[in-house]
Amino acid sequence: MNDQQRQKRFWHPMGSAAAGHCGSTVVIARGDGNYIFDIEGHRTLDAVGGLWNVNVGHNRPEVKSAIARQMDELSYCQTFDGVAHPRVYELADRLCAMFKQEDMQRVMFGSGGSDAVETALKMARQYWIAAGEPARTKFLSLRNGYHGVHFGGTSIGGSGVFQYNHGPLLPGCVLLDTPWLYRNPWRCQDPDELVAHCIGQMEETIAFHGAHTIAAFIAEPVQGAGGVIVPPAAYWDSVRRVCDRSGILLIADEVVTGFGRTGSMLGSRGFGVAPDILCLAKGISAGYVPLGATMFNHRVAHAIENGDGFSHTIMHGYTYSGHPLACAAALAVLDIVEREALPANAGRVGQHLFERLLPLKREFETVGDVRGKGLMLALELVADKAGRTPLDSAEGVAARIAETARKRGVFVRAMTNKIVISPPLTLTLDEADVIARTLREALQTE
């Protein structure tokens, strides 16, 4: 495979298509456990876990044989009205049992996180039609939030770069400030005060628009693509209370945080909150076969199932909703997640890794912040530590550090001026040490 073949025909998602652009590309040929191997055979610790999704590691025999068995039995079956197959029922039951504590009663399947979000937004609108308040159409979401790339998810997203080339977007999407201690408009350093500012702003915004116009608030329990932003402990509970007071639905986008990444089975559960709608993908099938799921609690399910006229009819779904191979893969993956207690491992190993990374903030002028929860961590690079001035990503420092780390055997992700770490939840303490040591070495080369 030569460079021209690699770069001519294929537009990379999230990359430049400029004619002269020839950024370097790592071609990965094989994966095994927590490691990936490039086409030259170099072995690298996969400290991004694919794309925050290979939660049980690569090449797990249990998952492969579940997919192969399903392939022999039934490789495809639709699940539109009147048709189903055994695995889709098994997975739906399994998910409702796993999220019983959140009162999740119904599930709709898609092929990934963007589908899960689109389904959540459309079904939130349908809920309000069924509940007799069709004027509730707006969505509240957070700056720096990422909710995938469909038009709905793009419209509620909190980073302009995903919107610049695709407008006009969905009307009625309103952004609130992120509960982010390191950077917030109030320059507030106290977690409780920050929650008070954010909740005050949320209440003012609801009052301005009128609760009767707002369908839902949607956010990631811990923001991922926006730079691994962990809210203060009290934030989610306060949001739940505001939603309850104003009737607004609470949607947790758990595409990254679902199935253990932050140290509990759901990110929202880790903050002691039960959402009305859950968006799931990534870890549900750990990257083996694409799958997304949107789950609804009793309130939403009951209203839609008992809606008048057309409002109980679900005119939404995909050819690949409930794909048999994806359901079989997910059932095998969830067995591993539960058997190996991966949420607990993510919490324990994640805390260990965080403690190993934290000293980098003292040691290096460019490391402004080290943050994370479970196995979802980031280093933020700054030009000036005291002023927290972000390092201009055009300088390419994060990209160079990631490249150096990769050459030394650890694959991390450079996102603008951040280095992001989201390894498989099967990561060991020793491997966490390797990640921290390698990043220190990479920072020393700058």
Ligand X SMILES: Cc1ncc(COP(=O)(O)O)c(C=O)c1O
Cis peptide before 168 (omega within 30 of 0): yes
Nearest to 304 by CA among 144, 162, 123: 123
Quote the DSSP letter at residue 282: G
Q: What share of the chain is helix, strand, coil (3-state, %, to 5)?
A: 40, 20, 40
Nearer to ligand X, 46 or 367 (CB): 46
Smallest gap, in angstroms, from Cβ of residue 148 to ligand X? 3
Residues 6+ apart with CB under 8 A from 109: 79, 88, 91, 291, 292, 293, 318, 321, 322, 323, 326, 327
Tokens 């939603």 correspond to what residue?
Answer: 243
Residue nearest ligand X, CB atom distance = 113
Q: What is the dihedral of CA 421, 424, 429, 435, to 10 degrees?
A: -30
d(CA 334, CA 340): 10
Smallest gap, in angstroms, from Cβ of residue 173 to ligand X? 15
Smallest gap, in angstroms, from Cβ of residue 347 to ligand X? 20
Task: Identify the burial level of 63 via C-beta atoms within 10 angstroms of its C-beta, where 0-12 means exposed, 13-18 middle and 19 or more buried.
Answer: buried
Nearer to ligand X, 114 or 268 (CB): 114
Smallest gap, in angstroms, from Cβ of residue 86 to ligand X? 25
d(CA 371, CA 380): 8
Smallest gap, in angstroms, from Cβ of residue 58 to ligand X? 18
In the complex, the residues that contact ligand X under the rule CB under 6 A are 112-114, 117, 146-148, 220, 224-225, 253, 255-256, 281
Nearer to ligand X, 98 or 281 (CB): 281
Nearer to ligand X, 218 or 397 (CB): 218
Smallest gap, in angstroms, from Cβ of residue 183 to ligand X? 19
Nearer to ligand X, 242 or 420 (CB): 420
d(CA 189, CA 252): 25
d(CA 205, CA 271): 24
Q: What is the dihedral of CA 335, 340, 343, 349, to 10 degrees?
A: -150
Q: At what angle do helices 324-339 and 61-73 cross, to 10 degrees?
A: 150
Nearest to 436 by CA among 368, 374, 341, 350: 350
Smallest gap, in angstroms, from Cβ of residue 257 to ligand X? 8
Smallest gap, in angstroms, from Cβ of residue 162 to ligand X? 11
Nearer to ligand X, 131 or 293 (CB): 293
Nearer to ligand X, 117 or 432 (CB): 117
Residues 6+ apart with CB under 8 A from 255: 113, 116, 117, 148, 220, 279, 280, 281, 282, 292
Nearer to ligand X, 130 or 222 (CB): 222
Smallest gap, in angstroms, from Cβ of residue 245 to ligand X? 26
Nearer to ligand X, 57 or 157 (CB): 157
Alpha-helix residue ranges (DSSP H) falling in 13-57: 49-52
